[in-house]
Structure 1
Amino acid sequence: MGDWREGPPLLHDRLWEVKARDRHYLFVCSQNKLRSPTAEQIFADHPGIETLSAGTNHDAETPLDDEMLRWADTIFVMEKTHRSKIQQRFRSALGGTRIVCLDIPDDYEFMDANLIALLHTRMARFLPRTPSA
């Protein structure tokens, strides 16, 4: 008799893959120049998620809009003020989308090593685990 691990993937592995494809993470800061694009970039290749970033300010590199909010399964904001702005300006587009505040101050440059380390720490519990090999 063959090894039980041979053959098609286990059902829970296939379900994980289906769920993982559906995870859309939107990272938001004020200007979309430093923190949120760093987060978008460092998590872009993480298995099981797709990432976008935007800014709450009207003159942001990529201003936040209704379509992005509807796309997102979870919105990660850098500061509580970002959450408040989103809730005030985009209430109808939010639906029941969860907003998580990462509490990351505007003290970092784009792709700053300390910012990357902090993002990894704050995001660890939200990142899907990859199936064991």
Structure 2
Amino acid sequence: MYAHWETVPTRWKDNDVYGHMNNAVHYSLMDTVINTWLIRTAGLDIHEGDAIGLCVESHCVYKASISFPEAVRVGLRIGRLGRSSVRYELGLFREDGGTVVAEGHFVHVFVDRETRRPAEIPAPLRAAMEKLVIDE
């Protein structure tokens, strides 16, 4: 179960020589959906905000092949929300939502932009994140 969904088109260059989406593209799609949500919905200011999120861990399990010109439905939820860290969990599906293409996660640690020391997730950002927390 995912709390936020986005549909992302594949591009011609996403296919590798074997005719399916290259594994690096899966990570790029996950990173794009996370950061689009952070900026557009949660209000993260990537240019001037005091705190920034750094990826400290990522993982992907590949379940099925997909290729251009298919679109990918990406589901996003938060599996763990700490004081300064968050674990985003994502599912990549065929556009019809019936076939799981990949499942993965990213962990961001929020740090002070200048010192790069861990910082509390800002309150407005945390409030938005809490809406994506799914208890299974």
The answer to whether TM tops 0.5 is no
| TM bucket normalised to smaller | under 0.3
Which protein is richer in strand relative to its size? 2
TM-score by length of 1: 0.24
Q: Say which structure, 1 or 2, has more relative contact order (CA 8 Å, 6+ apart).
A: 2
Q: Which has the larger radius of gyration?
A: 1
Which protein is richer in helix relative to its size? 1
